[in-house]
Structure 1
């Protein structure tokens, strides 16, 4: 039987008041990810600043558009977060010219172009329009390995399943370490994206309500 998390955690729907904590957490969660290493040129000086800028602009636009975010908190500290792009609203961030301009100014034209190409390839892999997409998802590295990821995903599945029109959730990763983990949580691999030398794996978790409707 899996061990319980070392400290009890609370799931909370977040608002813009958590922006600073969300940015810090996601920076630490993504700075060593291979996909973002390629997108924001880890082999060139200033990489950490570019990752910080990417996270800052995505979180800022996400809350500006009042999109949902689920947080996992231990003793009132944010240790995990999932930014959620609901069906029909998920393209708004990358289509914003203001967001694109801020990205170009803070990460450079080439990195912004890489990120937009990556997002376009991801959108092409979606199994349909009626899915929730997770632009960013992470557990702070200090709290990984204690089953908090399972708790956050479980809450995320329940939250998205309340939308009876949603077919499920799509997420992606270029980190081979996470492939078996997502499969254990009920995700099915539905595609791959070439992000430079990185193979980005696209996963889908079906909405159990929709599955029951189909089976009925």
Structure 2
């Protein structure tokens, strides 16, 4: 069985707006074959790559514009992993952002925008309260997946979020069955399921260490 650490551990860093284009490109490649995103942005219809790129670019622009935190993995001088984090105190739903909606309509189109908004609202309905960090996008360069950089990225996210005493933990979702065992192995519990067309999006929760110890005390 291989070890639980990458052969060459990457460095964790906080990303600023200068990494926006590079991070958007990485997340596009990480999500291009994701079943949920393929359904949302109609992979069987011409223009899928354009719609997906536009959506990730707009999500990144909104995230950076609101000065929300983002973590990166750097291998030498190369960005190989990205995690966008929405803290509990800084959560503004994309469904409430009219400028974001307008840019989405102009770039991704009406149907993809509507599907994404419905998907986002359904996932948020599974979140029990505001006292959680959310991970709207999390990805590792596809060519380096399976080499434990995903584990390193997730560990960095856990360490970062655990410093916030206002947060009970982390919520994320996935419609990719290959990710289910990965998240469960790292302490995530299923708290809901959302039907996204033929896809079943699973919503997961990971407790912050202090929250877990408090509930057991």
Q: TM-score, normalised by structure 2?
A: 0.96
1:99 corresponds to 2:66: no
Ranges in structure 1 where 5+ consecutive residues have no aligned partner: none
How many correspondences in the alignment?
A: 216
Equivalent residues of 2:15, 2:70 under 8 A apart: yes
Segments of 4+ moved more than 6 angstroms: none
Distance 1:189 1:177 in 2: 15
Equivalent residues of 2:54, 2:104 under 8 A apart: yes
Distance 1:8 1:215 in 2: 34
The residue aligned with 1:138 is 139
Distance 2:95 2:6 in 1: 36
Distance 2:59 2:95 in 1: 9
1:84 corresponds to 2:88: no
Distance 2:203 2:168 in 1: 15
Report how far residue 3 of structure 1 moved: 4.3
Equivalent residues of 2:88, 2:166 under 8 A apart: no
The residue aligned with 1:63 is 64
Report how far residue 145 of structure 1 moved: 0.6
The residue aligned with 2:179 is 178
Report how far residue 89 of structure 1 moved: 2.5
Give RMSD over aligned pairs: 1.1
Report how far residue 141 of structure 1 moved: 0.2
Ranges in structure 2 where 5+ consecutive residues have no aligned partner: none
Q: Find the residue that maps to 1:59 and give its secondary structure.
A: helix
The residue aligned with 1:109 is 110
Q: TM-score, normalised by structure 1?
A: 0.97
1:96-149 C-alpha deviation (Å, 9 max, x unpaired): 111100001111111101100100001100022100001100001011011011
